[in-house]
Amino acid sequence: MSASNSPCNQEMMLAYGLEGHSNSKGNVHPYCPAVKDNCCLPEDAEVSMRYWLSEGSRVVEGYYEAYLYSLKYLLGFASEVNKLAETLDKPDKPSKCRNAAQDYKKMNWNPQLVKEIYRSFIQALEAMGDVRKGFYCVLCDVNTQNRLRDFWSISNIFYQDRIYFSKDFCQELVDYTIRASYYQAFYLKRYLNNAITMMSCQNGIKEYPEYEVSYWTRKQVELCYQFKNKQMFFFCENYCENFHLTRGSEILDGNVKQLESFVSYFKENRDNSFFDSDNNFFIGSLGYVEEFILENIDRPKEDLVFMRATTSNVQLDKFNTDVLYTGGFNPYDSTEGSTYPLVLSGINIYTQLVSLVMIVLLFRKD
């Protein structure tokens, strides 16, 4: 489809703080090299970068960093949990403690496996970060708007609450994230629930959190993971519909809220539960990381909205997601090569300085 000089959806762009052209221009977006038929004004590009640096990136980075640091902290105690399992897998121990120890040992949990699982979480969030940081690219791309103009228009009553993604997007999303989602729904859940049960057996505290993943989400993940190479669309369509363009998904973007309760429990009880409470093979300074996770990271609201509309006319976070076998769009097409900055876990000084300079320069233009 030729998109040159095509009508733009200014209604949608205005909802997110941009003015937009009435018809697209054949110029490449300065921060989105894949967007060559552009609905955004040059001023819109600068405004969007300002929005991203001052709000969007802060929210997304804060959430992703909270998730990754929580994972590192909790998974890093695997060796100590192994010791608990050996101690509690004895005939004289209560059945609840013995069962948790035996189930944990069946997992064959070891540092090498833990590191591999953690790498899969990083890879998945990097892929999710690519589409998150490219939101304004999607917003400005007239090719995307041509495919979805009717669905995004508030004048279309029947379709106004849905965004349609393509089969190709579902395939990419599965390729990037399904392994991490499977680890979260099955391995992480099992590890944490067994670990926390054994810690309770050791320290005598009866109240402790439980990691929960809904039955339906677990089935979506399991079916997609097992049959993605046979009938991807049939078995993964429902899994892909967990994705939202402006709102986080607990199975795709991580469940910080649940992990936070486990970090709190480990922090308060590692000394009276583990044989060596400082033995964490991921983290050296435990106290610093504990405080960093629990106190010093900004998190989005309870609704997990990463990009919030400035008007009530078009609020994409309230739209449902559908995946089509024919039709729909692939946001990765628009976001490829996006230069909106996003740094995950362990921001170094150089990157912080670059971001600070960009913010100063953008705000000086006003």
Q: For residue range 156-212, what is the model confidence (pLDDT) as tens digits?
A: 454 557 788 999 999 999 999 999 999 999 999 999 999 999 999 999 888 899 999
Give 226's strand partners: none
Question: For the chain, what is the mean pLDDT?
Answer: 86
Pick from 215, 267, 203, 206: nearest CA to 69:
267
Indicate whether 142 pLDDT > 80: yes
* Angle, vertex CA 192, rays to CA 292 and CA 88, nearest 5: 120
Whole-model pTM above 0.85?
Answer: yes
pLDDT at residue 361 in the model: 45
Tell me the average pLDDT across 307-321.
81
Per residue, the 3-state secondary structure of 244-261, as one string, reads: CCCECCHHHHCCHHHHHH
Tell me the average pLDDT across 145-159.
55
Parse the chain into domains and list their residue ranges: 58-331
Considering just the CA atoms, what is the radius of gyration of the chain in Å? Answer: 23
* Backbone φ, ψ for residue 322 (5° rounding): -125, 145
pLDDT at residue 289 in the model: 84
Q: For residue range 210-268, what is the model confidence (pLDDT) as tens digits?
A: 999 999 999 999 999 999 999 999 999 999 999 999 999 999 999 998 999 999 999 99
* Res. 291 pLDDT band, cuts 50 70 90: confident
Q: For residue range 8-23, what is the model confidence (pLDDT) as tens digits?
A: 888 888 989 999 898 9
Give 141's strand partners: 38
Pairwise CA distance, residues 188 & 69, whole Å: 14
* Res. 148 pLDDT band, cuts 50 70 90: low
> Residue 336: how many CB atoms within 10 A of its CB?
16
Q: For residue range 103-117, what is the model confidence (pLDDT) as tens digits?
A: 999 998 888 899 999
Q: What is the DSSP letter of 329?
A: B
Tell me the average pLDDT across 325-344.
90
Report the C-alpha dihedral over residues 207, 210, 215, 218, rounded to 10 degrees.
Answer: -170
Q: Please give the structure tokens belonging to residue 301.
A: 């609201």
- 179 contact partners, CB below 8 Å, separation of at least 6: 120, 124, 225
Indicate whether 352 pLDDT > 60: no
The two most distant CA atoms of the chain are separated, in Å, by 78
Pairwise CA distance, residues 167 & 237, whole Å: 8
Tell me the average pLDDT across 59-72.
91
Q: What is the DSSP letter of 276?
A: S
Contact present, 306 and 100 (Cβ < 8 Å): no
- Give the lowest-confidence range in 72-76, 238-242, 300-304, 330-334: 300-304
> Residue 17: how many CB atoms within 10 A of its CB?
16
| Element housing 162 (H / E) | strand 162-166
